[in-house]
Amino acid sequence: MLVLRLISFDLPTAFLTVLEPVADANVFLSMFMIGLYLELRLPRQDRHIVFQLLTLRYVMGLVFVGLFYLLPIEPLAKMILCLLCVTPVPLFGVVNSVIAGVKEESVGVASSISFLISLPLMTLLLLLLGPTV
């Protein structure tokens, strides 16, 4: 798709019409998967680790938001970079953490909480930075 976009190739309308129901279902399925895997139970001894991880992630993310906001770049690119700084913990991060030996419960809870923090934070960034960027 990136190559098609770079060469300014437009897909036929009939093809897009066929794909539209799949694209519409993607939003529902994404939210369904988030709800399905939302897990907030964590042993008491692991809470400190999850708190440290999320605090570091979002403090550093907000520092980078500030840095990207000050860069002299295109407003759309600036907004995208700012949003990427506060996105939820990716699924591949969870899988790789478990493979590396981190407790599944800790990684799962960190991922779940990161969704609950990131979605409102991303919305807030859009509201605050959108019109001025």
Per-residue pLDDT reduced to its tens digit, 98-124 = 788 877 778 778 888 888 899 899 999
Q: Which residues of the chain have pLDDT under 70?
A: 30, 33-39, 91-92, 131-133
Return the structure tokens found at 60: 């550093």
**Residue corresponding to tokens 């591949």:** 92
CB 87 within 8 A of CB 118: yes
Would you state the pLDDT for residue 37? 64
Residue-range definition of the domain harbouring residue 19? 2-129
- The domain total for the chain is 1
**Residue corresponding to tokens 């979002």:** 58
Would you state the pLDDT for residue 132? 56
Q: What is the rounded (10 degree) CA torsion for 65, 67, 68, 72?
A: 150
Prediction pTM value: 0.66
Amino acid residing at 42: L
Would you state the pLDDT for residue 124? 92
Would you state the pLDDT for residue 133? 47
Q: How many C-alpha atoms does 42 have within 13 Å on its Cβ side?
A: 22
Q: How would you class 20 by CB atoms within 10 Å of its CB: exposed for 0-12, middle for 13-18, buried for 19 or more?
A: exposed
Would you state the pLDDT for residue 131? 65
Would you state the pLDDT for residue 38? 66
- Under DSSP, the state recorded for 124 is H
CB 85 within 8 A of CB 65: yes
